[in-house]
Amino acid sequence: MREGSIDAPTRHSINWKSPEFYDQQLLDAELHRVYDICHGCRRCFNLCDSFPKLFDLIDTAPSGELDTVAMNDLQPVVEACTLCDMCYMTKCPYVPPHAFNLDFPHLMLRAKAVEFKNGVRSFADKQLSETDRNGKLATMVSGLANFATSSKNTVARAVMSGVLNIDTKAYLPKYADMPLTKLLGPVLPEANKNAPGYGRKAVIYTTCFVNFNDQASGQAAAKVLAHNGVELAIAHPGCCGMPKLENGDMQAVADQADIVVSGLMPFIDKGYDVIALTPSCALMLKAEWPLIKPGDTGVKKLASSTYDVSEYIVDIAKKNGMAKGLSPLPGGIAVHFACHARAQNMGPKALDMLRLIPEAKPALVERCSGHGGKWGMFKQNFATAIKVGKPAGKALAKDHAQYVVSECPLAGPHLQQVMETLEGVSVPERIGHPIELIAKSYGF
């Protein structure tokens, strides 16, 4: 038997349409097999909260082994998994092609899918996953929506805590006054004909978060890309389905794939690259959808045409060269390497991109922010989300950098909350996307 990680990790397609996928006895048997391997290894003890929960349950069992832990007692292990993929990507020595064939995140996804099929998903989980519906409605009444969700509105947040189980202290994203596609679509900047990269074409897939919530990275990306000669279009056919994936709603994720593929394929057929502004969404388009819909030619074509925005800027720099105008930024830069950026297996492209700024020496922090999508918003998880994020917060604050950035739009505000709990730490006013610093370096 060969050790894992000698060969490149590979992933099997997700057989979610098979009745065996939802068979509780088969699932329990596989959970028991994998948990026993994890118990014997324990390399992932310091990643997320799933593994400490698993190991604590085993260590306090009568035999000190998995055989005396009831399967029902192991349910918190599944709930603590946020599908960040870090155990699979960075720690586990037993991923395929190893004979143990261990894919912990996708096993947790299977367990969540069985739960969803059995109706074990909260009202809040389902409603928060309707990001497109929520965004369309909230941008129409953004002032009221932002007033209601503000942590300073103790009355409204208390009601939300009771109805939706959202922690009163958890940051909730603000909504823009209109979707970015409507705001920016009619006034997209023209491609700079003097740039070395002139001739490229790309459609900005805004993602639901940038389209309806924090639009700064979208505005910055459009300016930087156009200045570098890229002919732009902008689109948001629909959510990538990541919030529904967290729920185990496999059919809804597949349906979202069909919607987005249909919306973006006309651009791809005209020679446009697809640029995703959020790493979770880029991961879905590039990696998860091809495993959920194997053999779908549209999904495969979209996956091969999709770039993370940092990845795309670095590609321009390497193949064409950057347009002139980048100027030094005073002070250091600390870069949080978001989990779903790491999971794309493309290297730290945000770090590479920021090194394009003259004299810049960005420092990388490879620790989880702790937020985990909507998971970190809930009352039972918020304190854990803060705890898990503290190593990242301390590392980001260590060098007293002028700028702190993260490619994950939810990680940024959460890390601010984490840093507020640390003594002697200066909390940055904003932890935005690295592309915003490239735009700032250009003077935009």
Q: What is the CA radius of gyration of the chain?
A: 22
Q: Which residues of 208-230 are buried (b: 16+ CB within 10 A; e: fewer)?
A: bbbbbbbbebbbbbbbbbbbbbb
- Determine contact, residues 370/376, Cβ cutoff 8 Å: yes
The lowest-confidence range among 24-28, 87-91, 149-153, 232-236 is 87-91
Are residues 226 and 286 located together in one domain of the fold? yes
Q: Reply yes or no on whether the pLDDT at 1 is more than 50.
A: no
Q: Give one word for 424, left, alpha or beta, with left for phi > 0 and alpha for psi -120 to 50.
A: left
pLDDT value, residue 4: 47
Q: Give one word for 389, left, alpha or beta, with left for phi > 0 and alpha for psi -120 to 50.
A: alpha
Residue 3 falls within a domain, yes or no?
Answer: no
Whichever domain contains 364, its CATH number is 3.40.50
Structure tokens at 290: 């091809």
Q: Reply yes or no on whether the pLDDT at 5 is more than 80.
A: no
Cβ-proximal residues to 291 (8 Å cutoff; 6+ apart), any chain? 11, 12, 13, 14, 106
pLDDT value, residue 336: 95
Residue 283 falls within a domain, yes or no?
Answer: yes
pLDDT average, residue stretch 245-270? 97
Residue 337 falls within a domain, yes or no?
Answer: yes
Beta strands in 14-150 (DSSP E): none
Residue 281 falls within a domain, yes or no?
Answer: yes
Are residues 350 and 391 located together in one domain of the fold? yes
Name the domain boundary from 105, 136, 164.
164
Decide the pairing of beta strands 363-365 and 403-406.
unpaired
Are residues 412 and 306 located together in one domain of the fold? no
Name the domain boundary from 265, 290, 318.
318
Are residues 334 and 437 located together in one domain of the fold? yes
Residue 8 falls within a domain, yes or no?
Answer: no
Are residues 395 and 412 located together in one domain of the fold? yes
Are residues 299 and 363 located together in one domain of the fold? no
pLDDT tens, 75-128? Answer: 999 999 999 898 998 889 999 999 999 999 999 999 999 999 999 888 888 999
pLDDT value, residue 71: 87
The CA distance from 132 to 206, in Å, is 12
Are residues 375 and 278 located together in one domain of the fold? no
pLDDT value, residue 7: 66
- Determine contact, residues 60/152, Cβ cutoff 8 Å: no
CA angle 272, 188, 130 (to 5 degrees): 75
Domain residues for 401? 326-442
pLDDT value, residue 386: 95
Q: Reply yes or no on whether the pLDDT at 197 is more than 90.
A: yes
Band (pLDDT 50/70/90 cuts) for residue 6 is low
Cβ-proximal residues to 405 (8 Å cutoff; 6+ apart), any chain? 333, 334, 335, 336, 350, 354, 412, 431, 432, 433, 434, 436, 437
pLDDT tens, 180-193? Answer: 999 999 999 999 99
- Average confidence score pLDDT of the chain: 94
Residue 169 falls within a domain, yes or no?
Answer: no
Are residues 139 and 200 located together in one domain of the fold? no
Residue 127 falls within a domain, yes or no?
Answer: yes
pLDDT tens, 36-61? Answer: 999 999 999 888 889 999 999 999 99
Residue found by looking up tokens 């840093």 in the block: 419
Are residues 432 and 366 located together in one domain of the fold? yes
Angle at which helix 435-442 crosses helix 309-319, to 10 degrees, equals: 50
pLDDT average, residue stretch 422-434? 93
Name the domain boundary from 318, 350, 382.
318
Read off the DSSP letter of residue 396: H
Residue found by looking up tokens 């970015």 in the block: 180
Closest CA relative to residue 376, chosen from 340, 414, 418: 414
Are residues 210 and 309 located together in one domain of the fold? yes
Report in angstroms the alpha-carbon separations of 201 from 135, 205, 231, 234, 274: 28, 13, 5, 11, 9
Band (pLDDT 50/70/90 cuts) for residue 9 is confident
Closest CA relative to residue 441, chosen from 355, 341, 318, 350: 355
Are residues 301 and 349 located together in one domain of the fold? no
Residue 7 falls within a domain, yes or no?
Answer: no
Are residues 98 and 148 located together in one domain of the fold? no
Q: For the chain, how many structural domains are there in total?
A: 4
